[in-house]
Amino acid sequence: MTSDNSGPLATTPLYDLHLELGARMVPFAGYAMPVQYPAGILKEHLQTRSHAGLFDVSHMGQLRLHGGGAAAALERLVPVDIIGLGPLRQRYALFTDDNGGILDDLMVTNGGDHLFVVVNAACKQSDIAHLRRNIGDRCEIEVLDSHALLALQGPAAAEVMAELAPASAGMVFMDAANLRLDGIDCFVTRSGYTGEDGFEISVPADRAERLARRLLAFERVEAVGLGARDSLRLEAGLCLYGHDIDTTTSPIEANLLWALSKPRRADGERAGGYPGAEIIQRQQVQGVSRKRVGIRPDGKAPVREGAALVDETGNRIGTITSGGFGPSVGAPIAMGYVAQAFSAPGTGLYAEVRGKRLPVSVVKLPFVVQNYHRG
């Protein structure tokens, strides 16, 4: 299998297991990844919502930042409170550029004696270069090529994890722990990308298949591919980098003010100091001309990424950035950017699809209730 650039695709430590399970493999961010298994995307999606799904997300970048100055150094690159992040706690963060755009979104965990960072696969090399260029003289940057990453997601995830590691039962959303799973030392966070309760497990690559097989041996756990991962995150209102957020979108436009820690906001005690801070702070105070919103097509036809959004007179006022069928919703759903004047829930618009204008409505995100375990 080759990439779009005709070069060989990288594989994760679970590649052979995916083939054994009958996965349909596709190129994704330079890797051969399972988009679905024989059950199909719809069933895999509903399996995760009702029981538990196991995802291979080993294509993501895993890093450790070492040194006493790592937290302060990383704060120079994100509008997030890293200095105040407690031991074994995790936080969502954003790399921003000088124009206030988003270079990537990432997860940062205080591992006690280091920061554990997970970045998107497509941005992995540029993120590593960004870190080395800007803070490489202030902390040691270790790339964990030796580790795989598994995500166990769904309402049965806690029960399964508790059987393997009873200490996991005491974890709440965004907690982290060093746990021994089936005799394997793992670094685990109670987090995920589906809107469900669940765990992400950093495991040595040479033990990943053994752990995956152990998890799949549970009756309520099934393998789930990237197709259902995308529909699950869309229902949960979660952004996909390169689609819903990128360097042309600011955190404020993307409706991610919640991700900007209060100490780092315009009126915070450690305001600014990261790329694009003046622009983002000005937007926080003065507002923006467009916003990311949820979109519900009125009919059964899906509205896909790239479709124009227009008002009743045909003036273009926005664009769809993610769209598809929401299996849990039982209807097509989408996200996109619209002019601020059209961003209120209940606003009626039209999406242009294959030369036709389909009625849609702006709705509040998320499309399904997020079931994170907050204790």
Residue with tokens 């495991």: 203
User: Which part of the chain has CATH 3.30.1360.120?
Assistant: 15-51+146-235
Instruction: Check the CA dihedral 143-148-151-156 and report its sign.
Output: negative
CB neighbour list of residue 97: distance below 8 Å, 6 or more residues apart? 103, 247, 275, 276
Residue with tokens 């895993």: 62
Tell me how far apart the alpha carbons of residues 328 and 272 are, in angstroms, rounded to a whole number. 40
Residue 3 confidence (pLDDT) above 90: no
- pLDDT digits 0-9 by tens, 342-356: 999 999 999 999 999
Residue 2 confidence (pLDDT) above 70: no
Please state the pTM of the whole predicted model.
0.96
Return the axis-axis angle of helices 226-235 and 41-50, rounded to nearest 10°: 60
Q: How many CA atoms lie within 13 A of 210 on its CB side?
A: 11
Number of helices and strands in the chain (H, E): 8, 19
Mean predicted lDDT score pLDDT of the chain = 97
Tell me how far apart the alpha carbons of residues 159 and 151 are, in angstroms, rounded to a whole number. 15
Helix (H, G, I), strand (E, B) or coil at 25: strand
Q: What is the DSSP letter of 8?
A: B
- pLDDT digits 0-9 by tens, 271-284: 999 999 999 999 99
Residue 366, preceding bond cis, omega within 30 degrees? Answer: yes
Tell me how far apart the alpha carbons of residues 317 and 11 are, in angstroms, rounded to a whole number. 41
Beta strand pairing status for 184-189 and 176-181? antiparallel
Q: How remote is the C-alpha of 38 from its chain's centroid?
A: 25
Tell me how far apart the alpha carbons of residues 326 and 349 are, in angstroms, rounded to a whole number. 20
Residue 106 confidence (pLDDT) above 50: yes
CA end-to-end span of the chain = 45
Residue 340 confidence (pLDDT) above 50: yes
Q: What are the C-alpha distances in Å from 358 to residues 56, 90, 170, 333, 339?
A: 36, 41, 48, 13, 18
Q: What are the C-alpha distances in Å from 281 to residues 154, 256, 271?
A: 37, 13, 9
Mean pLDDT, rounded, for 155-168:
98
Question: How does residue 6 score in pLDDT terms, banded at 50, 70 and 90?
Answer: low
Res 215: pLDDT:
98
- pLDDT digits 0-9 by tens, 34-92: 999 999 999 999 999 999 999 999 999 999 999 999 999 999 999 999 999 999 999 99
User: Which part of the chain has CATH 2.40.30.110?
Assistant: 289-366
- pLDDT digits 0-9 by tens, 301-335: 999 999 999 999 999 999 999 999 999 999 999 99
> Which two three-digit tokens encode residue 275?
């790329």
Residue 4 confidence (pLDDT) above 80: no
CATH 1.10.1200.10 correct for 15-51+146-235: no
Could you please state the CATH topology (level 3) that the domain comprising 289-366 is classified under: Elongation Factor Tu (Ef-tu); domain 3 (2.40.30)
